[in-house]
Amino acid sequence: MNKCVGFFLLGVGLAAILSPGAALAQTVLLRQEAGRTLEVSNVKVEDGTVTGELRNNSGNVVRDAQLLIRYTWLWKNEFHPGSDDPSRSVYYTVPGELAAHGTTRFQYAATPPLPKRTDGSFTVSVGVAGFAEVFMPGKAAR
């Protein structure tokens, strides 16, 4: 390749990198920061089905909101637990977009269903695992 073509391609590459809006940025938030953006509330569990509300506290649209649902098995006798622990964790993506400062309901049914057992019980926790916050050009966030 001659030098002119090489410098031209280098210039095009730099222009693409340096031009505003040409590249999408990705930011990783700490758990506390993410918790301020998306908030899970009013969680109820019945026969392994988890329902609740997800609130977007930001001034931007949120999509691909992913929840971590943990079904933790508690043995009746924790000093002598059994060998078959049915605990599990699942990631559930809430369908659709969540408008700025909006709230949506979610529902997840355990698949396969949780086993019916008498040697303990499940406790369930739900937290935000991830999401994409959509920033609109020229619009102030939050």
The pLDDT of residue 36 is 80
- 76 vs 120: CA distance, rounded Å: 5
The pLDDT of residue 112 is 95
**CATH T-level topology, domain 26-134:** Immunoglobulin-like (2.60.40)
The pLDDT of residue 141 is 52
Q: What does the pLDDT look like over 72-92, one tens digit per residue?
A: 999 999 898 888 999 999 999
The pLDDT of residue 64 is 96
The pLDDT of residue 101 is 97
Instruction: Spell out, as residue ranges, where the chain has pLDDT lower than 50.
Output: 1-23, 25
66: nearest Cα among 132, 8, 138: 132
What is the 8-class DSSP label of residue 113? P
Which amino acid belongs to residue 18?
L
